[in-house]
Amino acid sequence: MKVKIDRFVLAIIIVICLAYIFPQWGIPESKIPIDTISSVGISLIFFFYGLKLSSTKLKQGLKNWKLHILIQASTFLLFPLLVLLFQPFIQNEEQKIIWLAFFFLAALPSTVSSSVVMVSIAKGNIPAAIFNASISGIIGVALTPLWMGLFVQNTQTDFNFIDIYIKLIVQIILPVVFGLLLQRFFGKYAQKYTKQLTLFDKSVILLIIYKSFASSFNDNIFSTVSLLDLLLLFIAVLALFAMLFYLTSFLAKKMKFNIEDQITAQFCGTKKSLVHGTVFSKIIFGHMSSIGIILLPLMLYHAIQLLIISIVASKMGLKNQTE
């Protein structure tokens, strides 16, 4: 099977290289208002997200409550608890930052579009996938800061629950609500121009990634990170994904789900959202110079989940089609 490199993953690599070569554009003293542009972009992303939310499809997915519990428990409980097991092994400040980066990854909500697409390819339960992928982002606005608040308060960043939730409400919740309210007028246009809106989403994410890495490169945060460290990070991310992927499969079978629901549990319960991750990192870790390191496991995980799940989804889809 010929493996294709995802264009967005390639774009992320290019943006990181640009941040390394031209970090001066992304530092606070820069004349380019990247923070303002990305903040407006974030609000627009979630406004369009509200326009595209289908209440009919969400209602269709409400019925299978056992599946929903497993997916959301995997996303917001099993994943963080698994990473939490490794906290006692932290021995210094560098390891603490790396562990915090993994815990941030673990506390994030699931993806939306890619989860639904992969479930569709694998012939899984599409209405349930739409419901869980959509509701995950909303739950994450509440739960991700709560999880991070247990550990970020002791780091160099100023972690204030009230400020963070105000930012999340203003930049995410309110735009989604406005999108939902205007859906009957503009929803059809949002569906019609889905590809263009997806391109806009990715552009904003790339801008945030550039800003994060430019700040880290400018402060020489990566001076202590070797190629061996990156390789070990990749192995750790891969192992984490594998554990969750097989754990959700095991639990789905124990709960006697049919094959469609097993696929949905595996695909939705193990995915993590790069969109929410970059947005949340900007709000939660905005004042940390090591924000680039915080995003590293998330971006590696994003690439791994796209590659592995797309291959698995294709094989499952062919298998289920012939049965």
pLDDT per position as a tens digit, 95-138 = 888 899 999 999 999 986 677 777 877 888 877 887 888 789 88
Region 212-234: mean pLDDT is 80
Q: Which residues contact 20 (CB under 8 A, 6 or more apart)?
A: 213, 217
Angle at 211 between CA 206 and CA 212, to 5 degrees: 95
Flag whether the pTM goes above 0.85: no
Residue 83's pLDDT band, with cuts at 50, 70 and 90, is: very high
Dist. CA 10–CA 8, nearest whole Å: 5
Q: Are 99 and 86 in contact (CB under 8 A)?
A: yes
Which pLDDT does position 246 carry in this prediction? 92
Which pLDDT does position 247 carry in this prediction? 95
Which pLDDT does position 286 carry in this prediction? 66
Q: Which residues contact 304 (CB under 8 A, 6 or more apart)?
A: 237, 238, 241
Q: Are 201 and 194 in contact (CB under 8 A)?
A: no
Q: Which two tokens stand for residue 217?
A: 């490169």
Dist. CA 90–CA 83, nearest whole Å: 12
Residue 321's pLDDT band, with cuts at 50, 70 and 90, is: low
pLDDT per position as a tens digit, 159-212 = 566 777 787 888 888 888 898 899 888 888 888 898 898 888 888 888 888 888
More confident residue, 131 or 67: 67
Q: Which residues contact 86 (CB under 8 A, 6 or more apart)?
A: 99, 102
Dist. CA 269–CA 70, nearest whole Å: 8
Q: Which two tokens stand for residue 146?
A: 């709560």
Which pLDDT does position 60 carry in this prediction? 62
Q: Give the alpha-carbon dihedral of 308, 312, 314, 317, to 10 degrees.
A: -150
pLDDT at 22 over 80: yes
Residue 156 is which amino acid? Q
Dist. CA 234–CA 240, nearest whole Å: 10
- Choose among 134, 142, 128, 144: nearest CA to 180: 134
Residue 154's pLDDT band, with cuts at 50, 70 and 90, is: low
Residue 278 is which amino acid? T
Give the mean pLDDT of the chain: 83
pLDDT at 61 over 80: no
Name the one residue in this structure whose structure tokens are 């246009």: 189
pLDDT per position as a tens digit, 249-287 = 999 999 999 999 999 999 999 999 888 888 888 888 866
Ordered by where they begin, the domains of the chain are 34-322 (1.20.1530.20)
Residue 117 is which amino acid? V
Dist. CA 265–CA 257, nearest whole Å: 9
| Residue 289 φ then ψ, to 5° | -70, -20
Which pLDDT does position 173 carry in this prediction? 81
pLDDT at 322 over 80: no
Which pLDDT does position 153 carry in this prediction? 62
Dist. CA 173–CA 195, nearest whole Å: 23
More confident residue, 13 or 75: 75
- Choose among 309, 245, 260, 312: nearest CA to 114: 309
Which pLDDT does position 65 carry in this prediction? 87
3-state secondary structure of 323: coil
Which pLDDT does position 4 carry in this prediction? 60
- Choose among 65, 144, 53, 116: nearest CA to 267: 116
